[in-house]
Amino acid sequence: MNRRHFIVSGSALAATLLAPALKAQPATPAGAVSLVVGFPAGGGTDVLARLLGQKFNDMWGVPVVVENKAGAAGVIAARHTAKQKNDGTALLVAHVNSHGIGPGLRSDLGYTVEKDFTPIGLIGKTPTILVGGPDQPAKTLKDLVELCKAQPGKVVFGSAGTGSAQHLALEIFKAEAGIDVLHVPYSGSAPLMTDVIGGHVQYAFEGMTTAKPLIEAGKLTALAQTLQNRSKSLPDVPTVAEQGYPGFEASIWFALVGPGGMQKEMVERMNADLNTALATPELIARLEQAGAEDGGGSAERLAQFMLSEQTKFATVIKNAGISVQG
């Protein structure tokens, strides 16, 4: 064997021996992980992210730190995360606003969901709840539709803001029911609920976290909820689908994603760990408190779900002529 052949053979042997070692390396982040949340500290999404972060910290053996980048209904956080390294050290708790509604709503989004993000797994879906003040005449969905058809453009519906998940739930329902109402956007859920309770606004679609305590206190009347099946948190409130609108769904959902192009093995590991975390007592209790259900499953399931949500909302937004900037 000549010297050159020996060097080549030796290099090939070394590569052969090294390949299993490289493949065996754990598919986890090499350093501290930033878990980005698009809402302020202390809110429901933030609390959920911190619980997940604790689980991932233990599973991956690296610090997982929640980073709050609030603004533009989660879009600012998404823009930030899309620009980070795709080595697992930056992850995002994506939201229906940033990854479902935003692509069809905003011309200034600054990212493409399919190209700039890697789906990891669905965390959970919560229904929006159709509520009215206690003194409003319509107490059922059927009665409300009849009222709106008798008074086209006069029944007042509020929302947490133009283009919000709550607003889009209203627009989907308007199209399904064939009704015309007066939409009044607010700067958030708190002032909206105050005016619904006070009778200044008649009805609204609102998130579970905000609506449930007010329903239980008798301050709001719940007419319907918007998942396919009744939430365990409000089992006595019928769905829109079971009240004559089969297939109707307008959820507020959360998912774990990373920057685009993440390593397949790392995605598989993170997906498995997310599913494990979602099955722990702490996460189950937190998700039940928020009314969140139907989380987990594969990364492919999340990718398909996000695409279907974008398609649905883009159609509603176009038909309703909705647009926002900033």
CATH number assigned to the domain comprising residue 173: 3.40.190.10
The pLDDT value recorded for residue 19 is: 46
pTM of the model: 0.86
Does residue 4 fall inside a structural domain? Answer: no
* Together in a domain, 186 and 104: no
The sign of the torsion formed by the CA atoms of 276, 38, 304, 253 equals positive
* Together in a domain, 256 and 120: yes
The pLDDT value recorded for residue 325 is: 62
Do 58 and 33 meet the contact criterion of CB atoms below 8 Å apart? no
* Together in a domain, 187 and 233: yes
Q: Cα 219 from chain centroid?
A: 27
The total domain count for the chain is 2
Does residue 23 fall inside a structural domain? Answer: no
* Together in a domain, 48 and 190: no
| 90-95/33-37 β-pairing | parallel
Does residue 264 fall inside a structural domain? Answer: yes
Q: Quick: pLDDT tens for 222-231.
A: 999 999 999 9
* Together in a domain, 239 and 131: yes
Do 229 and 248 meet the contact criterion of CB atoms below 8 Å apart? no
Do 227 and 125 meet the contact criterion of CB atoms below 8 Å apart? yes
Tokens 């590569």 belong to residue: 15
pLDDT exceeds cutoff 90 at 199: yes
Domain of 232 in residue numbering reads as 127-243
Distance CA 187, CA 182 (A): 17
Most confidently predicted of 25-34, 43-52, 245-254: 245-254
Q: Quick: pLDDT tens for 16-38.
A: 444 444 444 558 999 999 999 99
* Together in a domain, 139 and 227: yes
Q: Quick: pLDDT tens for 172-195.
A: 999 999 999 999 999 888 999 999
Distance CA 96, CA 261 (A): 21
Exposure class string for 176-205: b at 16+ Cβ within 10 A, else e = bbebebebebbeebeebbebbbeeebbbbb
Continuous H helices in the chain: 3-23, 44-60, 75-82, 96, 102-105, 113-116, 141-150, 165-177, 189-198, 208-216, 264-278, 281-290, 299-320
Does residue 26 fall inside a structural domain? Answer: no
Q: Quick: pLDDT tens for 61-79.
A: 999 999 999 888 899 999 9
Does residue 326 fall inside a structural domain? Answer: no
Given 222, 243, 264, the domain boundary residue is 243
Distance CA 171, CA 313 (A): 10
